[in-house]
Structures are given as C-alpha cells and as structure tokens.
Amino acid sequence: MSKKAAEHHKKAAEHAAHVARHHGEAAKHHEAGHHEKAAHHAHTAMGHAFHARGHAEEAAKAHAEEHGKK
C-alpha cells in the first residue's frame, strides 16, 4: 500500500476515534440533562465523521492510483 494511502487510513481512524469519544460525551451530557453540552459534542462528532470520510475517500483514490488501470 502506498504511503499516501496509509496516512489517509491512519487519519480516518483517528477521526473515527474522535467521533466515538464525542458521541459518548454527548450521551453522558444528554442523560444528565445538559442538552447544550450534548449538542456541542454531537455536532463536533459530525465534523470528525465528515473528516474521517474524506480521508477514507482519499485513501481509496491513492490506492486506485497505485493499483488501478495499467
């Protein structure tokens, strides 16, 4: 696998971990009735999900460039 693709996979994984953490925080705050804090974490999680998907797409492109049509 290309170094470029590997880096994008790593970044996608990092963002996915942030997604999980922020959703966990959102759940905790929601259960406590702190809805503004819950909304903040949920919104932040969505931002990380957006970035994770972008890195996953870039990894796929890099892989296709390296192993695609010859």
The Cα 36–Cα 39 span in angstroms is: 5
What average pLDDT does this structure show over 53-62?
96
Q: Which residue has the tokens 């010859």?
A: 70
What average pLDDT does this structure show over 47-67?
95
The Cα 10–Cα 6 span in angstroms is: 6
Write out pLDDT tens, residues 8-48: 999 999 999 999 999 999 999 999 999 999 999 999 999 99
Higher per-residue confidence, 65 vs 12: 12
- CA 14 vs. chain centroid, Å, equals 7
Task: Give the type of residue at 51.
Answer: H
Both structure tokens of 12: 């996608």
Q: Is the pLDDT of residue 56 over 70?
A: yes
Is the separation of the CB atoms in 8 and 62 below 8 Å?
Answer: yes
pLDDT at 1: 57
